[in-house]
């Protein structure tokens, strides 16, 4: 007789394990204890647990759409047809290659600002990142044969901790915007609160992503406004301040206007006084010419890692970076590589604390992220290794000097900037601040060579 693993223990049937196994007919809709009336479509508790992790059937889809009054055609009703890309006709390979070369050389196709842009990339980054050992590597679940991949991730985590001054990091997240949402979730889990204080000087696109990802989870958002003359946050006390209900305070520095938030330390101190978690969105190059997030008082720091050796390829790929104080270790999303020793006492690296992750904890996982941008984390690590700290500092200083020279003549706000600055009109990436009129942010990354 065939049975599921674990249904028998010590030669005896284990009813508790069997109850949730595939051999139990109750999992197929028959509850023996409740009698024959359950045979007609009835479901047991075990079946309900199983079905929570299965996809929707067509009948389920019809029931849901009918309940909310929608059809499949309604899904894209709010998306204008003009936004869809035109289909290209079939062409010979050399013709298509020529089309892409023309697009690549078109300046109007490049958008800079918002923390991303076509920054210089050392040739060694492309050479090493294109090696098959890295491109085709699978998730390092088996450390015995994955020490190379684990070493790279461990090095990446170390670099992120060095940049931020914080104690722990992970193997990377999808992008900077989703990393902010993950940081807020971490703060809410630790504080048991649901109010989020979000600075208005955080990029509008980041704020939109955060509200979308956290919608329906009971979060309440309050915004901290900024001084229209200076482009930075108002003083603490002049605006909505953190309260006993606040889970976290999110500040971006450099902010959406490219300005360093000179009052960030004061706001973070106010957040800590009421038990709220200070979260800073930082620029991975700006930290080399300014103080680290930990020095500003941040407990969690997140960033978009694209400036660290990642090319722009029609809108991506990107890399989310996150670091935090050690007290958040068991709330950290995604994968973490830890250092240990093998059976022979030699140094070894492994994926650690995996019980936090979705492939084990399912709905009780710290995050829905089930993978990471490992190849992009590799590129960021190679970028840092190629330039070293001194080289990155020199590059960041030249970016900052060039941006400030241009900003003095063109920027709408005074103050120190990094790489980007806000201007009137639509010369760069448009910013959604109706109270300021039509403004946009421009970057200088493309003008500063290696």
Q: Where are the domains of the chain?
A: 8-68, 123-381
- Per cent of the chain over pLDDT 90 is 60
pLDDT category at 373 given cuts 50, 70, 90 is: confident
Paired tokens of 179: 């990393």
More confident residue, 113 or 389: 389
Ramachandran class of 423: left when φ > 0, alpha when ψ lies in -120 to 50, beta otherwise: beta
Mean pLDDT, to the nearest integer, of 300-311? 96
Distance CA 158, CA 160 (A): 5
pLDDT above 50 (res 363): yes
CB-count exposure of residue 64 (10 Å: 0-12, 13-18, 19+): exposed
Q: Does the domain at residues 123-381 carry the CATH identifier 3.30.70.260?
A: no
* Confidence (pLDDT) at 273: 97
pLDDT above 80 (res 122): yes
* Confidence (pLDDT) at 326: 97
pLDDT category at 53 given cuts 50, 70, 90 is: low
Return the C-alpha torsion angle 418, 422, 423, 427, nearest 10.
90
pLDDT above 80 (res 152): yes
pLDDT above 60 (res 254): yes
Neighbours of 14 (CB within 10 A): 14
Distance CA 319, CA 209 (A): 15
Mean pLDDT, to the nearest integer, of 286-303? 97
pLDDT above 50 (res 57): yes
More confident residue, 84 or 198: 198
Instruction: State how beta strands 12-13 and 439-443 pair.
Output: unpaired
Which one, of 405, 415, 420, lies nearest residue 262 by Cα?
415
More confident residue, 173 or 118: 173
Paired tokens of 450: 């290696």
* Confidence (pLDDT) at 121: 93
Mean pLDDT, to the nearest integer, of 94-118? 74
* Confidence (pLDDT) at 4: 40
* Confidence (pLDDT) at 400: 94
pLDDT above 60 (res 345): yes
* Confidence (pLDDT) at 17: 42
More confident residue, 148 or 29: 148
pLDDT above 70 (res 45): no
* Confidence (pLDDT) at 20: 42
Which one, of 393, 374, 396, lies nearest residue 172 by Cα?
374
More confident residue, 400 or 449: 400
Q: ∠ at Cα 30 (27, 33), nearest 5°?
A: 105
* Confidence (pLDDT) at 79: 60
* Confidence (pLDDT) at 306: 95
* Confidence (pLDDT) at 59: 86
- Per cent of the chain over pLDDT 70 is 80
Ramachandran class of 362: left when φ > 0, alpha when ψ lies in -120 to 50, beta otherwise: left
How many residues are present in the chain?
A: 450
Neighbours of 7 (CB within 10 A): 19
What is the average pLDDT score of the chain? 84
Q: Please name the residues in contact with 52: beta carbons below 8 A apart, sequence gap of 6 or more.
A: 363
């Amino acid at each position: 007789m065939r049975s599921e693993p674990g249904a028998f223990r010590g030669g005896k049937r284990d009813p508790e394990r069997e109850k949730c196994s595939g051999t139990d007919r109750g999992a197929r809709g028959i509850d023996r204890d409740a009698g024959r009336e359950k045979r007609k479509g009835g479901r047991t508790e075990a079946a309900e647990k199983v079905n929570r992790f299965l996809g929707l059937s067509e009948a389920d889809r019809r029931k849901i759409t009918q309940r909310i009054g929608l059809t499949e055609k309604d899904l894209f009703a709010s998306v204008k047809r003009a936004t869809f890309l035109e289909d290209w006709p079939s062409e010979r390979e050399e013709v298509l290659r020529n089309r892409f070369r023309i697009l690549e050389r078109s300046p109007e196709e490049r958008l800079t600002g918002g923390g991303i842009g076509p920054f210089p990339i050392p040739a060694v980054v492309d050479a090493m990142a294109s090696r098959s050992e890295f491109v085709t590597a699978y998730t390092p679940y088996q450390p015995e044969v994955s020490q190379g991949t684990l070493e790279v991730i461990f090095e990446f985590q170390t670099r992120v901790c060095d940049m931020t001054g914080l104690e722990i990091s992970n193997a990377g997240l999808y992008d900077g915007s989703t990393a902010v949402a993950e940081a807020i979730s971490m703060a809410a889990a630790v504080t048991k609160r649901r109010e989020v204080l979000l600075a208005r000087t955080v990029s509008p696109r980041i704020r939109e992503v955060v509200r979308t990802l956290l919608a329906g989870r009971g979060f309440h958002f309050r915004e901290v406004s900024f001084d229209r003359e200076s482009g930075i946050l108002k003083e603490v006390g002049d605006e909505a301040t953190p309260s006993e209900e606040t889970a976290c305070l999110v500040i971006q520095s450099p902010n959406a206007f490219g300005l360093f938030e000179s009052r960030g330390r004061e706001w973070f101190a106010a957040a800590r006084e009421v038990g709220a978690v200070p979260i800073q969105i930082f620029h991975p190059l700006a930290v080399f010419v300014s103080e680290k997030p930990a020095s500003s008082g941040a407990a969690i720091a997140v960033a978009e890692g694209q400036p660290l050796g990642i090319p722009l390829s029609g809108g991506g790929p990107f890399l989310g970076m996150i670091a935090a104080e050690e007290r958040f270790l068991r709330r950290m999303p995604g994968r973490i590589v830890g250092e240990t020793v093998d059976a022979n006492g030699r140094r070894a690296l492994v994926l650690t604390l995996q019980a936090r992750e979705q492939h084990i904890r399912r709905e009780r996982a710290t995050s829905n992220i089930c993978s990471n941008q490992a190849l992009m984390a590799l590129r960021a690590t190679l970028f840092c290794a190629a330039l070293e700290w001194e080289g990155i500092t020199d590059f960041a200083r030249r970016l900052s000097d060039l941006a400030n020279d241009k900003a003095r003549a063109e920027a709408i706000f005074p103050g120190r900037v990094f790489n980007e600055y806000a201007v009137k009109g639509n010369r760069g990436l448009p910013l959604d601040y109706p109270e300021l009129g039509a403004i946009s942010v421009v970057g200088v990354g493309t003008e500063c060579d290696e």
